[in-house]
Structure 1
């Protein structure tokens, strides 16, 4: 009996939405031994005789098509770098967001590095790549949580919102990390000991450093893989290849690590899912949290969302019973001291622009150790205004706000960086500027005068700093850039609360609570954390260390207003014609309503709001319109050789940008 010829089903690497499907190609006999799911190939396309790259998704012997198939052009590499579980995840999240699986796979699979790949293939051939199997893993527990609770949750594939302990702890080698990092590391040891891998996603490099340090304290180095977009291309590709093996690993990275290959996945853990760095800026714009939820459902692993505060998205999942809650066995709340922004009585407090209560707490703490001062913005004066009329000074090139980074420096645009030495007010034609607000540099100068003889340290985007010692010092840092202090800060001052809350955004309340809670967690046990100039529900939630209560109240308001995450939203942007047709495709769906459309700089935009139960139907309808808009043909203009531009339609799901201002 003749063996049927193999047929490769290939996903072509193309951004065109109409090509987001599998194409069938005959496998030449000379390539049959090299073609397998996950390998890179080159294939012919019928249009203009082009050759395209792609991945083999599966190899079959029968298909419905009865005609003659084109043959594969070449096998680029025999390395199977696209894992089946990643293909399934890419397809699912793309369908959920009306995107293409190709776009997700570009995030998941790094660019090929030939030398790295050859070394890996050689290791696969001689068996040296499996050497890590000899390194044993001993499960570690975290004393702050009920005994064996993490282990049971992982073994049972449970899903939880985990309340992190607000502490800084010292590792055996003396390095300082947040307690949350040791919790994630301990959870990873249980996952690996059970024979499965753990994917651990954190927002940025600061968190990655802490988590890797915590992992190195409880796991062999061969069981830890760092997979991050900041790595060099060879290092990232090498890490990706390491994840393809059979050895259970702890895979650490930022948002794209959720797409790392891990066939026997036992745990996905996300730290601080409310951080905007978890939001993917590339199409199809799927948040790390949503990708993790889809992957957990597909592979049945445990799922943890850790944080000092709780996002409204996680709170919604808790309230509907999809997530459980897991907290420490006893109360670890920091000592929060809310205080109004009253006129300081002490002349030094007046110089430092802080209430006398905060000044006294800082003065006492500086006798024994460092004090953290959190401010809203970097630079000297984050914003400048016209001295005559008070209108904000704007850049003449891009209309961005003007600011100064140091005392006496030339004003410059905070967006494009262009200097504005000859600035003129567009409102009153004034030429004099006055400073509005205080950044890290100006605050450091003020505090230096208020606390003479005390060392002042600045930590912000221009001066990144990860750690400080336990000697007395004033550490002035922007939100998210706070360094860790050995043993914790002896006091924490949270300034500029009113300025942070003045930002117009749907998430401003939960963002501020997250910033303040993360800073408060850097204090040593019993040290005062002074919240300046903020009252109401936010101050109460922080003072009682019940941030989930604020998230719950916020969610009640969002339900009343039909704002995300109580419902889902999608923005539809394009020409007036394409947007109109896209909206018409979902007009009959129950529970879907439209805000707009309206004209924007990017074109006509409408916001579609819909219930979660209608998500699949809305995504399917809008994806069909995206493909239709991309494939429509326009007639050439008589006498011109260049055709009219094809219409564009852009759809972004779960986009909260329209709710920012």
Structure 2
């Protein structure tokens, strides 16, 4: 029921939680008298939709005394949560990011705000009403005996409000007072967070995965009070994560650490935003609208005025572009300190069919007498890829044409895409039935090395068998890229195998990813220990050997600029049925210079795809144009035709800055 004529009203402007692009706006609702004393901005509420009498949930973005809507306002249906979970800064961030990516703000808020736990929320509200902090075990700030004090000339001294930095940390391991070994980058960020906390400001520290987070937590444990640390990551129990999210709403200075969603934490008085290894694919958001953590950090820093740090041993090409345009200042700590890289290539007659050349084999054998040796491989499993033993063609599934592989020795070949068993496989080229391994995984490598070094402990670390740390005792550690454990005191030798196979992946970013994987593994070596890059030569091997990854990134950026590839330009990937897709491309073509399209090309089920390339200065226009096209398609009605099957609904999907499309 609407408000009586002339009666004062309280209007709630609500963002409806819906993936439909036409609903991505604020709708005015009248607050019923019974709820006037309860509603506040940031609450989650239930609201009616005019179509079909449906009820949806949404967020109260703001409250007002008047509405510009000339008709009769619908009433709020009810309150879902009494806690103001949507902070004003987070709403502004979500709105700007959604506009930049032609997406819905509600999609971003689903990533930013964790699932609600009623019991945790009740305890937090009661503690707030009583004048205390968040109701959690970590709410009290425990003092530490000897906090880390940034030394003169340390990185922490470079972190100032409003300053934007690209950090190349020392490629080393550091032993903490507790005896725990962590990467030097973790100590640098912990010192910067401690200095920020001392000024009464909050730090947001974003890392790709739990391995990096474990190192950062260990470094922070000796730098800041335990009660000043909050976690926001997917590995937490849901209630614990929600409790730490609520702590951020209390306004107390914190150090908030976690994965990509930590950058949305509703913290006040931000002093530092830091992202470690932004080139890692785990920092790319898979859910719509797919905003990368790097872009979230850039926009939030601009809104908050906090210091911004992108740290990596091998900087991404995107960060190098920001350095080139003067948006980031470079901070390199002790350029003379670098791993001892040995670039080797196998020769005929070498051990293990040149997969491990003789010189590398000799160094590994000598290093084992003093401690652990790391062997990085491309894939997990026993034989991740199989080929026909007769003609050498890759063995593919007869059902979906996906690649066949072996997960364990003696198993039946299985498709890596659909999972179908291939017990009666035959080659589509020569009709042969014998299969041989086309690649060697971590399991097969560990078995071969176990035979070559009898009595030596062999440890496998991959996605299925994660190992975070190993001791200083002699051992062969076989790890897939990104899953390398930390060894106490560092590895006595590091072998980077399968480099040529890693570089065969079809992706614009493959060389950048390989250089990052190898660089991160090389930093785990003990001082002076050899790091062998096997089977790779050329410019990328030189960049690793001389530890000049930034120069390689600059050259790569120049090459992409000549080809108009990201990040020299931005891209938007458009998918839809041909009529809708061509309509969107026609609208984009009207924007003129600085915008061009590639395609369309067919995909599956009648869907086609096109790529729009555009200069950064045209981003807002392209996003607005594509968003309008999406709304037109979504609101277009299709009447059924008698005697004919229902026609598929029109579709149009847009994703900006898709890293894997090229």
Q: Residue 47 of structure 1 aligns to a residue in which SS?
A: coil
- The answer to whether the Cα contact below 8 Å between 1:573 and 1:650 also exists between their aligned partners in 2 is yes
Could you say if the C-alpha distance between residues 130 and 635 of structure 1 is closer, same or farther in structure 2, counting changes exceeding 3 Å? closer
Trace 1:13-32 onto structure 2 (pairs within 5 A).
Answer: 13-32=17-36
- For the pair 1:338 / 2:343, whether they are aligned, the reply is yes
- The answer to whether the Cα contact below 8 Å between 1:11 and 1:22 also exists between their aligned partners in 2 is yes
Counterpart of 1:278 in structure 2 is 283
- The answer to whether the Cα contact below 8 Å between 2:573 and 2:609 also exists between their aligned partners in 1 is yes
Deviation at 1:128, TM superposition (A): 2.6
Task: State the alpha-carbon separation in 2 of the partners of residues 174 and 562 from structure 1.
Answer: 49
Task: State the alpha-carbon separation in 2 of the partners of residues 299 and 356 from structure 1.
Answer: 55
Trace 1:69-108 onto structure 2 (pairs within 5 A).
Answer: 69-108=73-112
Task: State the alpha-carbon separation in 2 of the partners of residues 211 and 368 from structure 1.
Answer: 28
Counterpart of 2:617 in structure 1 is 613
Could you say if the C-alpha distance between residues 191 and 292 of structure 1 is closer, same or farther in structure 2, counting changes exceeding 3 Å? same
Q: Residue 304 of structure 1 aligns to a residue in which SS?
A: strand
Task: State the alpha-carbon separation in 2 of the partners of residues 141 and 334 from structure 1.
Answer: 27
Candidates 492, 495, 501, aligned match of 2:494: 492
Q: Residue 81 of structure 2 aligns to a residue in which SS?
A: coil
Task: State the alpha-carbon separation in 2 of the partners of residues 264 and 639 from structure 1.
Answer: 64
- For the pair 1:153 / 2:159, whether they are aligned, the reply is yes
- The answer to whether the Cα contact below 8 Å between 2:141 and 2:226 also exists between their aligned partners in 1 is no
Deviation at 1:198, TM superposition (A): 0.8
Range with greater deviation from structure 2 (279-288 or 597-606): 597-606
Task: State the alpha-carbon separation in 2 of the partners of residues 532 and 327 from structure 1.
Answer: 28
- The answer to whether the Cα contact below 8 Å between 1:351 and 1:449 also exists between their aligned partners in 2 is no
Deviation at 1:609, TM superposition (A): 0.5
Q: How many residues align?
A: 651
- For the pair 1:310 / 2:315, whether they are aligned, the reply is yes
Trace 1:95-134 onto structure 2 (pairs within 5 A).
Answer: 95-129=99-133, 132=139
Trace 1:408-487 onto structure 2 (pairs within 5 A).
Answer: 408-487=410-489
Task: State the alpha-carbon separation in 1 of the partners of residues 173 and 397 from structure 2.
Answer: 42
Counterpart of 1:327 in structure 2 is 332
Q: 1:293-316 deviations in whole A, cap 9, x for unaligned?
A: 111111111110111101000000
Q: Residue 128 of structure 1 aligns to a residue in which SS?
A: coil
- For the pair 1:572 / 2:574, whether they are aligned, the reply is yes
Deviation at 1:157, TM superposition (A): 1.8
Provide structure 1 residue ranges, at least 5 long, that are not aligned to the other structure: none
Counterpart of 1:406 in structure 2 is 408
Task: State the alpha-carbon separation in 2 of the partners of residues 135 and 102 from structure 1.
Answer: 37
Scaled by the length of structure 2, what TM-score is found? 0.95
- The answer to whether the Cα contact below 8 Å between 1:352 and 1:446 also exists between their aligned partners in 2 is no
Could you say if the C-alpha distance between residues 148 and 336 of structure 1 is closer, same or farther in structure 2, counting changes exceeding 3 Å? closer
Q: 1:293-346 deviations in whole A, cap 9, x for unaligned?
A: 11111111111011110100000000110000111145220111111222355x
Deviation at 1:586, TM superposition (A): 1.4
Task: State the alpha-carbon separation in 2 of the partners of residues 130 and 204 from structure 1.
Answer: 26
- The answer to whether the Cα contact below 8 Å between 1:344 and 1:355 also exists between their aligned partners in 2 is no
- The answer to whether the Cα contact below 8 Å between 1:352 and 1:450 also exists between their aligned partners in 2 is no
Deviation at 1:234, TM superposition (A): 1.7
Q: Residue 658 of structure 1 aligns to a residue in which SS?
A: coil
Counterpart of 2:583 in structure 1 is 581
Deviation at 1:75, TM superposition (A): 1.6
Task: State the alpha-carbon separation in 2 of the partners of residues 216 and 139 from structure 1.
Answer: 9
Counterpart of 1:537 in structure 2 is 539
Task: State the alpha-carbon separation in 2 of the partners of residues 200 and 595 from structure 1.
Answer: 37
- The answer to whether the Cα contact below 8 Å between 2:141 and 2:228 also exists between their aligned partners in 1 is no
Deviation at 1:150, TM superposition (A): 2.2
Task: State the alpha-carbon separation in 2 of the partners of residues 149 and 493 from structure 1.
Answer: 31
Q: Residue 49 of structure 1 aligns to a residue in which SS?
A: coil
Range with greater deviation from structure 2 (599-608 or 563-572): 599-608
Provide structure 2 residue ranges, at least 5 long, that are not aligned to the other structure: 1-5
Deviation at 1:130, TM superposition (A): 6.2
Q: Residue 586 of structure 1 aligns to a residue in which SS?
A: helix
Candidates 630, 653, 657, aligned match of 1:650: 653
Range with greater deviation from structure 2 (611-620 or 207-216): 207-216
Candidates 161, 170, 185, aligned match of 1:165: 170
Q: 1:545-602 deviations in whole A, cap 9, x for unaligned?
A: 1100110110110000000000001111101111111111111222101111111126
Could you say if the C-alpha distance between residues 311 and 141 of structure 1 is closer, same or farther in structure 2, counting changes exceeding 3 Å? farther
Q: 1:187-213 deviations in whole A, cap 9, x for unaligned?
A: 111221111111111111111111112
Trace 1:483-562 onto structure 2 (pairs within 5 A).
Answer: 483-562=485-564
Counterpart of 2:3 in structure 1 is none
Candidates 614, 638, 641, aligned match of 2:642: 638
Task: State the alpha-carbon separation in 1 of the partners of residues 563 and 637 from structure 2.
Answer: 41
Q: 1:98-136 deviations in whole A, cap 9, x for unaligned?
A: 000010000011122111111111111112316957656
Task: State the alpha-carbon separation in 2 of the partners of residues 185 and 3 from structure 1.
Answer: 56
Task: State the alpha-carbon separation in 1 of the partners of residues 244 and 155 from structure 2.
Answer: 31
Counterpart of 1:9 in structure 2 is 13
Scaled by the length of structure 1, what TM-score is found? 0.95
- The answer to whether the Cα contact below 8 Å between 1:157 and 1:303 also exists between their aligned partners in 2 is yes
- The answer to whether the Cα contact below 8 Å between 2:278 and 2:294 also exists between their aligned partners in 1 is yes
- For the pair 1:228 / 2:230, whether they are aligned, the reply is no
Q: CA RMSD in A?
A: 1.9
Deviation at 1:238, TM superposition (A): 1.5
Deviation at 1:644, TM superposition (A): 3.6
Could you say if the C-alpha distance between residues 202 and 157 of structure 1 is closer, same or farther in structure 2, counting changes exceeding 3 Å? same
Counterpart of 1:624 in structure 2 is 628
- The answer to whether the Cα contact below 8 Å between 1:388 and 1:430 also exists between their aligned partners in 2 is yes
- For the pair 1:592 / 2:595, whether they are aligned, the reply is yes
Q: 1:396-420 deviations in whole A, cap 9, x for unaligned?
A: 3332211112332221222333322
Q: 1:138-175 deviations in whole A, cap 9, x for unaligned?
A: 974555xx625523423x32111100221122222222
Task: State the alpha-carbon separation in 1 of the partners of residues 94 and 393 from structure 2.
Answer: 48
Deviation at 1:356, TM superposition (A): 1.2
Task: State the alpha-carbon separation in 2 of the partners of residues 232 and 397 from structure 1.
Answer: 39
Counterpart of 1:42 in structure 2 is 46
Q: 1:600-644 deviations in whole A, cap 9, x for unaligned?
A: 12611111010000000000000000011000011122257x854
Deviation at 1:427, TM superposition (A): 2.2
Task: State the alpha-carbon separation in 2 of the partners of residues 330 and 567 from structure 1.
Answer: 31
Q: 1:203-237 deviations in whole A, cap 9, x for unaligned?
A: 11111111112111212221111111232322222
